[in-house]
Structure 1
Amino acid sequence: MTTGEPTPGLRERTRRAVHREIAEAGMALFLDQGFEETTVDQIAEAAGISRRSFFRYFATKEDVVLGDMIERGHRIGAALAARPSGEEPWAAVRAALMALREEASGGPEEELRIGRMLHGTPSLRARSLEKHLAWQEVLVPELARRLREAHGLDGVSADHRAAAIIATALTCIDVATDTWLRVDGAVPLEDLWDEAVAAVRA
């Protein structure tokens, strides 16, 4: 059985493999010696490529960490679209976000180290928030469609409510992550998100 999606050609598979190798080399250096202390030249050397080749795959050093954020947003959107049509909006959004979280690789300690790097580096924090705005552009239309179909809302009302829910959900991710880092992961991130959402919905 096929998915209907074209199989990437050899050139594209090679490009993806090199992209992944550079990202892995960069992340290893970032976690070992710090994001700001790591240079593009060091990443290129660790990946066995030239500085010029690095910039064929990544526009900035920040993109080594956050380069797939837009793709993640589309995966969340696909997960949201796949949720049952009558599911309550907040439940559907939560399930879509958790589907992405289940993709996370590495153990709890590595997740904490990456989280501390993201939230402790101003340039990474800014880029992360910027790309969350791009997530809204993907998620709001899908949630608005669900609200129109399930509740018979007009376009303006559905868009307004969907935008409010998605913006709040993403803000709750940031708040939950801050707390999760502060308690060194002692409380599961998803529980902290649930608590944050419950607080704003109370």
Structure 2
Amino acid sequence: MARAAIRAELAEVASGLFRSKGFEKVTINDLAAAAGVSRSTFLRYVGSKEEAVLSAFDAHGERAADALRARPADEDDWTALRRALDVVIAYHRRDPVSALATTRLVRNTPALRARLLEKQNGWRPELAQALAERPGDDPRPTPLALSVKAAAALGCLNIALDHWTASDGRPDLTALLDEAFAALAG
């Protein structure tokens, strides 16, 4: 089995255990036992309890940056950023029940929330670089301005996800993200 598949399988076992018992109450040993592997095997593939949950989000920054580069040249940066985040929304649409449970777990667990924000802080330079590479007005905005746009976009994403999670996934996440972006566009 490929490394990524094993990692995904271990993450799935971990997520189920975290949802049923709570993140804080589950140990690495509990996770390894539930997955039927040794502690060292679990850690070799997953690395930590936090990564067992958050590894699902690893590729979001790169995918969003790639989507941003692929947006039409005549689209303004803010619209392009909004549309590029559709790749993140797609993750939540594929399995909304599981995504809601995972998002709730992350939002309600300080260690996970902090680690996700740290990951997203790593996405910001990727998004800013993708913005810089897009054709557009000459002169292009400064690196600082591009970083601010990327950070604002990620802030909109997080606020939309917070509202979606607090509402038990009932509102349309795309509409919430659109609303968040519109609040800053004016």
TM-score, normalised by the number of residues in structure 2: 0.90
> Aligned ranges for residues 76-95 of structure 1 at < 5 Å?
76-95=64-83
Name the counterpart of 2:111: 123
Deviation at 1:161, TM superposition (A): 2.5
- Correspondent of 2:139 among 141, 149, 153: 153
Residue 52 (1) aligns with residue 40 (2):
yes
1:96 equivalent among 81, 84, 91: 84
Q: CA deviation at 1:182?
A: 2.1
SS of the equivalent of 1:118 reads helix
| Partner-residue secondary structure (3-state), 1:151 | coil
C-alpha separation between the residues in 1 aligned to 2:93 and 2:49?
Answer: 21
Residue of structure 2 equivalent to 1:22: 10
Q: Distance in 1 between matches of 2:174 and 2:126?
A: 22
Contact 2:100 2:168 in 1 (8 A): yes
Residue equivalent to 2:160: 176
Which amino acid letter does the alignment assign opposite residue 42 of structure 1?
D
Deviates more, 1:120-129 or 1:50-59: 50-59
- Cα distance in 2 between the residues matched to 1:18 and 1:41: 17
Per-residue CA distance 1:3-58 (angstroms, 9 max, x = gap): xxxxxxxxxx5222221211111111112222122221121112211001111112
Query: Percent same amino acid among aligned pairs?
Result: 38
Distance in 2 (CA, whole Å) between partners of 1:197 and 1:133 is 19
Aligned-residue offset at 1:106 = 5.3
Cα shift at 1:65: 0.9
AA of the residue aligned to 1:92 = A
Deviation, structure 1 residue 164: 1.7
1:34 pairs, out of 19, 22, 30, with 22
RMSD between superposed Cα atoms in Å: 1.8
Separation (CA, whole Å) in 2 of partners of 1:73 and 1:178: 19
Letter in 1 for 2:125: E
**Which sections of structure 2, spanning at least 5 residues, go unmatched?**
none
Q: 1:75 maps to which residue?
A: 63
CA separation in 2, counterparts of 1:166 and 1:197? Answer: 12
**What secondary structure sits across from 1:38 in the alignment?**
coil
C-alpha spacing 1:82/1:140, structure 2 compared with 1 (3 Å): same
Distance (Å, rounded) in 2 between the aligned partners of 1:42 and 1:102 = 31
Q: Say whether the 8 Å CA contact 1:144–1:161 is kept in structure 2.
A: no
- Report the alpha carbon displacement of residue 119 of structure 1 after superposing the two structures with TM: 0.5
After TM superposition, the score normalised by the length of structure 1 is 0.84
Deviation at 1:153, TM superposition (A): 1.4
Contact 1:66 1:128 in 2 (8 A): yes
Poorly superposed stretches of 4+, deviation over 4 Å: none
Deviation sequence 1:127-185 (CA, Å, 0-9, x none): 01111110012110110222xx310115xx33233212111110111111222222222
For this pair of structures, how many residues does the alignment match? 186
Q: Any conservation in 2 of the 1:145–1:158 contact (CA below 8 Å)? A: no
Q: Distance in 2 between matches of 1:48 and 1:160?
A: 48
Which protein, 1 or 2, shows the higher relative CO under an 8 Å CA cutoff with sep ≥ 6? Answer: 2
